[in-house]
Chain A
Amino acid sequence: MSTRPHTTGGRIVAGDLTLGYGGNPVISELSLALPPARITCIVGANGCGKSTLLRGLGRLLRPRDGSVTLDGEEIARMPTGKLATRLGLLPQQPLAPDGITVSDLVGRGRHPHQRWFRQWSRADEAAVRSALDATGLTGLSEAAVDELSGGQRQRAWIALALAQETGTMLLDEPTTFLDLAHQIEVLDLLAELNSEHGRTVVLVLHDLNLACRYADHLIAMRDGAVAAAGRPAEIVTADLVREVFGLQCEVMDDPLTHTPLVLPHPGARKRR
C-alpha cells in the first residue's frame, strides 16, 4: 500500500463549546484538547451528548458559543471545501444510495478534491485504490453496497472517509450493529490507519472495554460535560464507571492488553 504523506494528524481543540439543537443546550462550555496522531475514544451513557460533541467537532453542528479549532484555525471560519480536505467525519448509520457499487461510493469521498472541471484525476484514482486496498475491498469494488455484509459495508464507508485523505477522521459509533468479530476488524483497521499514517482518529464508542483497548486518549462524558479525560489506564476506575454509567463494577487489568477491563457486578442494577 502506498504511503500518502500529506495525511498527518490534526490537533483539535474545543474551547468553551456550547452545542444544542434549539431549546436547552446539550453541551455547555465544554473545553478539551485531542492529542494529534492518536486515537481518542469518547464514551458515555446514552444521551450524554457524545454524538453531539462529535458533530460539533466536525462542524455538522454550529457552536452556539465557543469555538473548535483544527491546528489552531477556527473551523467555523474555514471554507467548507478546504475543511473537508483536512477533517473527515463518518456519521452514525450513513445511508448509501440504493444499488450503488463500492467503488462508486468510495470515489465520492474524493468530492472535496474535485471541481466541476476536474472530476477525476490520477490523485483521485490513487486515493480510491489505496482506500479500497487498505480496507480489503479491492476484490469487492464492483459489488453493490446493499449486498455486502454489515462489516464489509462499514469498511466501505471507512474507505470513503479514507479516500477523502484527511489527517483527522471522526467516526460516530462505527461498530454499532456489528458482531464482535467485525467490531474488532473495524477497530483494528482504524488502529492501523492511525499507526501507519499518523492520522488523528476520534471515535464515539459504546463498548467501554473496547474503548479502553484501542484508545490512547479516553474521554468519558456525563450530562454534556467531560467527567474524565486521559489515558484509559489512568482514568478508568470503578468510581468513574459508577459516575458515568451508573453501574457497579470491578475494574481489572486486561490480561491480554494490560488496559482496564470493566466487569459489571451481577445484578448491579437491582441493588442500586
Chain B
Amino acid sequence: MSTPPSDPHTSPSTPAGTPLPRGTRVLGSHRLGVAVRVYRPALVLGCALCGLVFAAAVASLALGDFTMPVTDVLSVFTGRSSPMQAHVVVDMRLPRALTAAGVGAALAISGMILQRLAHNPLVSPDVIGINAGATAAAVCAIVALTGSTLQVAGAALAGAVGTALLLYLLAYRRGVAGYRLVLIGIGLTAMLTSVTSYLITRTDLNTAARAMIWLTGSLANRSWEHVGTIWFGLAVLAPLALALTRQLRLLQLGDDTAAALGGRVQLARAALLFTAAATAASATAVAGPVAFVALVAPQIVRRLLRERVVALLPAAACGALLVLGADLLARTAFGGTELPVGVLTGVLGAPYLLYLLTRMNRIGQA
C-alpha cells in the first residue's frame, strides 16, 4: 500500500533498525524464545549512580566526629586496623550507611511505582497516607509497648499495609482510578497524622521525645538489626517490583487500553499498590518517615532518561544516594550538632516539590 501523503518523509532514521525505543537492546536468543529488553541508558545511569552510592558510603564511613583516612577505612575490612577504628566503622558507621542506602532505595522504588500507577508525578507514599499509616502504628508501638526495633518495624509494616488496604477499599468503585487513590490518600494522611499527634499528647515527655525523633526520620544509632530488616525487605520486594514492571507499563496506557491488551487491571494494580506500600513500610520501619525521597528520586531519574521507562534500578540507586548524602550532611555539616536525616531531606525536598508544582501549572505536566 502507499503511505498516506501527510508525512512524506519515509524515515531515514530507522530504516533497518528495530522499531524498539532508541537505546533499548534485546538480550536473549530467538531460538530459545527467551528475550529480555534492556534500556541501556537506564542501565548505564543505574551503574553510574551505584558508583556514586559506593563513594558516598565510603565517605560516610570515613567522615564524622572521628575522621579517618579512606586507607584506614579499607584496612578495617582487611583486618589490619586498630580495634577502635574497627569499632567505629563496623559497629557504628557501616550499619548506618547500609541502612541509609537501603531506606533510600526502598523509598525510591515505592515512589516510582506509585507515581506511574497514579499517572501523577506528585504521588509518593508520603502523600497518599502509606507513610502516615506506618508512622501512626509505629508511634503506637513506641507509646503503648516498649518500642523495640522489632516492635516498631512490625507495627510500621502492619500500619502501612493496613492503610494501603483501607485506601484500596475506599477508593474502589468499579475499579480504582488514579485520582481517587490520591484524594482518598490525602484524606487518610490527615486522619492518621491526627492519630499520631493524639498518641503523642497522651504519653509522658520522655516517650514523646523518643517518638518525635523517630517521627522526623532519623538514622542515628542504627544497628545491624536495622540493616537486616531493610535489606531483607528489599531482597523480597525489589524482585517482586521488577516482575511487576510489565504490568505497570501496561497500566500506564489507562485501564481500558490495558484491559483490551489482556491485562488483569485490578489484580495488577492491587499487587503494585501493596508492593509499593510494603517497600515504603520497610523503609519507614527502620528510619521513620524520611520525607520527600520517594517523591524526588523517581523525578530526578525521569529527567535524566529520554524514554519513559519504568527504571527501577536507577531510581533505587538515586534514592540510596540521596539518603546517604543527606545523612552525611546532617551528620557532619553542622559542627557539633547532628540533625536527623529527615530534617535535611525535608529542607531540600520541599523546594523541589514547589518547583514541580509551579512547573505543573505552567505546562500541565511535570
Contacts and interface: CB of A to CB of B under 8 A. Distances in A.
Given A84-B262, A106-B19, A120-B35, A141 B253 contact: no
A251 interface: no
B262 A80 contact: yes
A104 B21 CA distance: 5
Contact of B256 (A83, A94, A108, A139): A94
Contacts of B201: none
Interface in A80-122: 80-85, 87-91, 94-101, 103-109, 111-112, 114, 116-122
Interface string A140-169: 111000000001100000001100100000
A60 interface: yes
B80 interface: no
29 contacts: A60-B260, A80-B264, A87-B260, A88-B260, A89-B260, A91-B257, A94-B253, A94-B254, A96-B253, A101-B21, A103-B20, A103-B21, A106-B19, A107-B19, A107-B21, A108-B250, A108-B253, A111-B261, A112-B261, A116-B243, A117-B35, A117-B36, A125-B19, A135-B4, A136-B4, A136-B7, A138-B11, A142-B13, A189-B4
Interface size class of B (residues with CB under 8 A): 35 or more
A21 B34 CA distance: 42
Interface residues of A, number: 66
A250 interface: no
A109 B261 CA distance: 7
Nearest to B8: A139
Nearest to B259: A60
Given A80-B264, A121-B30, A136-B6, A141 B257 contact: no
A253 B30 CA distance: 55
Given A141-B19, A192-B1, A120 B259 contact: no
A220 interface: no
A129 interface: yes
B361 interface: no
Given A99-B308, A101-B307, A133-B3, A111 B262 contact: yes
A160 B28 CA distance: 25
Interface in B9-58: 9-11, 13-14, 18-22, 26, 28, 30, 33-37
B64 interface: no
Contacts of B11: 138-141
Contacts of A218: none
Interface of A: 1, 21-22, 55, 58-60, 80-85, 87-91, 94-101, 103-109, 111-112, 114, 116-122, 125, 128-129, 132-142, 151-152, 160-161, 164, 185, 189, 192, 196
A90 B260 contact: yes
The 7 closest A-B pairs by CB, nearest first: A84-B262, A91-B256, A89-B260, A112-B262, A136-B4, A81-B262, A139-B11
Give the residue among A22, A59, A84, A118 with the most B Cβ atoms within 10 A.
A118
Given A112-B261, A120-B26, A139-B13, 14 more contacts: A59-B259, A80-B259, A94-B253, A94-B254, A98-B365, A103-B19, A104-B308, A107-B20, A111-B261, A118-B28, A120-B37, A133-B3, A140-B7, A185-B4
A106 B19 CA distance: 9
A107 B39 CA distance: 14
Contacts of B10: 138-139
B263 interface: yes
B99 to A, nearest CB: 32
Nearest to B174: A21
Nearest to B13: A142
A121 B261 contact: no
Given A117-B36, A119-B26, A97 B253 contact: yes
Given A22-B174, A101-B21, A120-B35, A108 B7 contact: no
B249 interface: yes
Interface in B77-114: none
B6 A185 contact: yes
A95 B120 CA distance: 13
Contacts of B263: 80, 111
B119 interface: yes
Contacts of A196: 1
A134 B33 CA distance: 27
A129 B33 CA distance: 20
B308 to A, nearest CB: 5
A118 B254 contact: no
Contacts of A59: 259
A83 B6 CA distance: 34
B246 interface: yes
Given A83-B262, A99-B308, A139-B9, A122 B253 contact: no
B358 interface: no
